[in-house]
Structure 1
C-alpha cells in the first residue's frame, strides 16, 4: 500500500514541477499530500488495532467453544452408560401427576401444513402423537393450545411440537418473532408445568418432515435413553437449522411471499386451495312455496 501511494505521489510531484506551478500552490499541494499520508498512517494503525481486538475476541470464543465441546463429550459418555429401564422408572416417578393436562381439545385453527406433517409423525410414532389440547389461563379469557403433542405412555414424557409460521396467511402480520415476548411467555408457562417444547419453522416441516421427525426422536433418546425410535432414521440426514426471524424479517418475507412460495413448491398450498374449492356450499333448508 505504501509503495503504491509513494509512486502516485512521486508522479504528482513530477507533473507539478514540470507544470511550473507557483511556490504557494506547490506548498498547498505538499500539505494535501501530507494529509493523505497522515490519513493512510492513521487508517493502518486503526486496522492493526481492530484486527488485534478481533483476534482476542476469536480466541475467547474458541476457548468457550472448546469448553462446551468437552462438556458435551462428557455428557455423551455419561449418557451412554444410562440404563433405559432405570431412566424410564426415574422419569415415571418424577413426572407422575406433575405434568399439566389440557381441559379439552384445542379449538385453534390448524395451519395448512399441520395435517400433512401429522401423517408423517404417525408413520414413525404411531399412537404416541395426537393433536393438541387447550389450557385456560387463570384470570384471562385467552387460552393456550398445542399444535401436536407426543406422549410417552411408559415414562409420562409430554412433548409439545410447535410449527411456527413467519406470518399469518390472511392478514400477513408477523408471527412467532424473536423480538416478540408472546412465545417466550408461552414457553415459560409449559416449561414450568413440566412439558418439553420443540419448535420447528413451518418451512422445515414442509420441506424436510422426516428430518424433523428424526430431531424429535433424538430429543426422546436424550431424555429417556431409549434409542428405539432412532433406528428408523439411520439413513435420514440431520435437520438443517433455520435462523429465527424478527418482525422486520417477517414483514420482508410476507412482501416477497416466501411462505406461499415454499408451500406451493412442496404442493401444500395447492392441496389446501383445491380442498377449499371442492367444498360445496350448504343448501338452504327453506323451500320456495309453489304458487
Structure 2
C-alpha cells in the first residue's frame, strides 16, 4: 500500500485540487446528491476536500462526518475544515466504525476500496451505520482500463506491475455488485468517468501518477534508480513530441441499503 505520510499528504493535497481529480470528486458528489439537513459519512476522507464540499451542501442543520486511518491525512483535513461547525473528523478503521446503527442518511467512499483485501467487512459496517434505504456511493478506478503509451512497452509493463503492489484489488468496480448484494445493498447504477491525457497537463491525473509511481518504484522495488528516471524522462519527451497518451476510467457505483 501507499504510505500516506505527511509528505505524501502534501503532494496529494495539491494535486487533488487539479482539474482531473476535482472532476472525479464531483462525480461522487453528484451521485450522492446531498440535500440540506442530511447526515453524511465520508469513509476515507483523506485531506477533507469532499467533506468540505458536502458540508456546504447539507448546510448548518446537516452534518458531515469524515473518518480516516491516517493521522497525517486527518491533520490536513482538520486544517482545511477548520471553522466548519457541521464537520466532524475522526481517526478510525472502516472495518470497525465508531458510530451508532442507522446514524447516517448517506455514505460516500472515494478511492478507498482498492486498498481492502476483503471489501465485505467495510461494506457490512456501512450497512450497519446507514438508515434503511440510505444511499451508498463508492468511486474507484478500474486499473484494468489503464492504457499508457511507451516506446519501451516492456519497461512500462514492469513499472505498472510494480505500481500494482500498492493495491489490494485492481478491479473494484467489477467486483462491487456481488459484494454489495452479499452485504445487504442493492446496486442501482454505475457511472463511468474517463480520463484521457495527450499533453501531460501539469494538473492532470497522468502527471500525478508519474510522480507517485516513480516514488513508489524507488521505495518499494529493486529497480535501478536510473531505470525509473529513464521511464519518467521518456514520458516527458513523448509529451514534448506530441506523442503522449494515457487513459484510465474511474467508476462510481450508486447503491442503497435494503
TM-score by length of 1: 0.24
Point out which structure has higher relative CO (alpha carbons under 8 A, 6+ apart).
2
The structure with the largest alpha-carbon Rg is 1
Q: Which has the higher strand share?
A: 2
TM-score by length of 2: 0.26
